[in-house]
Amino acid sequence: MSTATMDAPQQTTQADFLPLLGTDYIELYVGNAKQAAHYYKTAFGFQSLAYAGPETGVRDRASYVLVQDKIRLVLTSPLNSDHPIAEHHRKHGDGVKVLALWVDDAYDAFEQTTKRGAKVYMEPTTLTDDHGEVRMSGIHTYGEVVHVFVERKNYQGVFMPGFVEYKSEYNPASVGLRYVDHCVGNVGWNQMNPWVKFYEDVLGFRNILSFDDKDISTEYSALMSKVMSNGNGYVKFPINEPAEGKKKSQVEEYLDFYEGEGVQHIAVATNNIIETVTDLRSRGVEFLKVPGSYYDSVLDRVGKIDEDLKPLSELGILIDRDDEGYLLQIFTKPVEDRPTMFFEIIQRKGAKSFGKGNFKALFEALELEQSLRGNL
Ligand code: FE2
């Protein structure tokens, strides 16, 4: 029996104490930001936007800012071994450090969250240059991940003060990625509910969807997940924790290899998943492949869809339906050698859920990869 639940839309007149306008940027700490930038441009269709490093007066690190429609990716590497970013990279490998949230008032976001118990990462700060000002502040979340609140209503520059335009003669075309749909965190055993409470109490999010280990388990690996959403639904953070199965949970494998809690996947939306995934594959992005038998019965489960099944099955795109519509989704393999962070490509056609109907097929595909790594 399914125990997943989806709450009715919130009927409340209570003011949102942390109004969010969306995801501002996602910053990854990586071993070689120059090469990572090339990879995300070449493979994922990002465009060069901004740069900070020695040439711009930043002595200790280099940051490349890439953009694709509303998605901004910042790739940062340290320039010396005793830098805190070097320590982060030594421990975790490449991974997400900052999930930055776009706000109207970064000072108020800091006040509202810290008075509710958030741990301070960055005191409210105002950065200025000829293009105006960006106000920022930051708090810690699970693992070593942080939320930086970014207020940019009085800024007209390319990214923020300290950055210059990143000009490149190498500009591969976009693959049609549009915005960040959700970012998933993996937390430790028995840590899901404390972090759910953190997002409820400290950021004013609510739990819109829950999956227990009966929903998300195969013969082997199990996990539990709760989806947290801010008031307007622009920002969604599902939180996973491992569950006991016959063999090692995929979340546990992540925790072992990331050496701690962190961001498991970033889901990015497209308006045409067939075109986007065809393009990504031709550029070398590798995807999880579900067994071909998935497509024998999928339409019995999800009903009529607009797309032909043939290209979906050739590309390995998964389909799921909820009360409001359907969605198409696919997951990349991890984008590092450690089996840690990966991407999801998603096209929503009314559905607001996360593809529960695909969990079983997906986890079987994942377990195949896990066993190839010797980690089941
Ligand atoms: Fe997802």
User: Domain check: are 46 and 151 in the same one?
Assistant: yes
| pLDDT mean over 116-132 | 98
Q: How many angstroms separate the alpha carbon of residue 148 from the centre of ligand 1? A: 22
Helical spans, DSSP H, in 202-267: 250-258
User: For 204, how many CA atoms within 13 A lie in the half-sphere containing its CB?
Assistant: 18
User: Domain check: are 106 and 196 in the same one?
Assistant: no
pLDDT of residue 360: 78
pLDDT at residue 365 above 90? no
User: Domain check: are 195 and 110 in the same one?
Assistant: no
State the virtual CA torsion across 226, 101, 165, 45 in degrees, nearest 10. 20
The band of 132, judged by pLDDT with boundaries at 50, 70 and 90, is very high
158 close to 146: Cβ distance less than 8 angstroms: no
Q: How many angstroms separate the alpha carbon of residue 237 from the centre of ligand 1? A: 9
12 belongs to a structural domain: no
Question: CA 222 from chain center: how many Å?
Answer: 21
Q: In 10 A of CB 322, how many CB atoms?
A: 19
User: Domain check: are 133 and 257 in the same one?
Assistant: no
Q: How many angstroms separate the alpha carbon of residue 264 from the centre of ligand 1? A: 9
pLDDT of residue 216: 62
Q: How many angstroms separate the alpha carbon of residue 184 from the centre of ligand 1? A: 7
Q: Tell which residue, 115, 106, 145, has the closest CA to residue 341.
A: 145
pLDDT of residue 311: 97
- Distance of alpha carbon 375 from alpha carbon 94, whole angstroms: 20
User: Domain check: are 200 and 157 in the same one?
Assistant: no
93 belongs to a structural domain: yes
Total structural domains within the chain: 2
Residue 341 structure tokens: 């962070």
| pLDDT mean over 323-352 | 97
User: Domain check: are 47 and 160 in the same one?
Assistant: yes
Least confident of 56-60, 170-174, 201-205, 293-297: 293-297
The per-residue b/e assignment along 163-189, b for 16 or more CB within 10 angstroms, e otherwise, is: bbebeeeeebebbbbbebbbbbbbbbe
Phi first, then psi: give them for residue 196, nearest 5 degrees. Answer: -60, -45
User: Which residues of 187-304 form beta strands (DSSP E)?
Assistant: 206-211, 222-229, 236-243, 262-270
User: Domain check: are 151 and 243 in the same one?
Assistant: no
Q: Tell which residue, 359, 275, 362, has the closest CA to residue 312.
A: 275
Q: How many angstroms separate the alpha carbon of residue 358 from the centre of ligand 1? A: 11
Q: How many angstroms separate the alpha carbon of residue 242 from the centre of ligand 1? A: 16
pLDDT of residue 17: 97
| pLDDT mean over 282-303 | 92
Final residue in a domain of this structure, among 141, 165, 189: 165
Q: How many angstroms separate the alpha carbon of residue 354 from the centre of ligand 1? A: 6
Q: Distance between the two ends of the chain, CA-based, in angstroms?
A: 26
Q: How many angstroms separate the alpha carbon of residue 251 from the centre of ligand 1? A: 13
pLDDT at residue 10 above 60? no
234-261 pLDDT, tens digit each: 999 999 999 887 778 889 999 999 999 9
pLDDT of residue 3: 44
87-122 pLDDT, tens digit each: 999 999 999 999 999 999 999 999 999 999 999 999
Q: In 10 A of CB 60, how many CB atoms?
A: 14
pLDDT of residue 316: 95
**Range of the structural domain that residue 128 is part of:** 20-165
Task: Tell me the average pLDDT of the chain.
Answer: 93
pLDDT of residue 235: 98
Q: How many angstroms separate the alpha carbon of residue 60 from the centre of ligand 1? A: 34
CATH number for the domain harbouring residue 219: 3.10.180.10
User: Domain check: are 368 and 257 in the same one?
Assistant: yes
14 belongs to a structural domain: no
Q: Can you state the percent helix, strand and coil of the chain, rounding each to 5?
A: 25, 35, 40
User: Domain check: are 348 and 272 in the same one?
Assistant: yes
Q: How many angstroms separate the alpha carbon of residue 223 from the centre of ligand 1? A: 13
Q: Tell which residue, 28, 40, 33, 24, has the closest CA to residue 340.
A: 28
Residue identified by tokens 């430790």 is 188
Q: Tell which residue, 46, 50, 88, has the closest CA to residue 71.
A: 46
- Distance of alpha carbon 82 from alpha carbon 76, whole angstroms: 15
Q: In DSSP terms, which residues pair with 241 in a beta bridge? A: 224
- Distance of alpha carbon 344 from alpha carbon 347, whole angstroms: 10
289 close to 358: Cβ distance less than 8 angstroms: no
211 belongs to a structural domain: yes
pLDDT at residue 40 above 60? yes
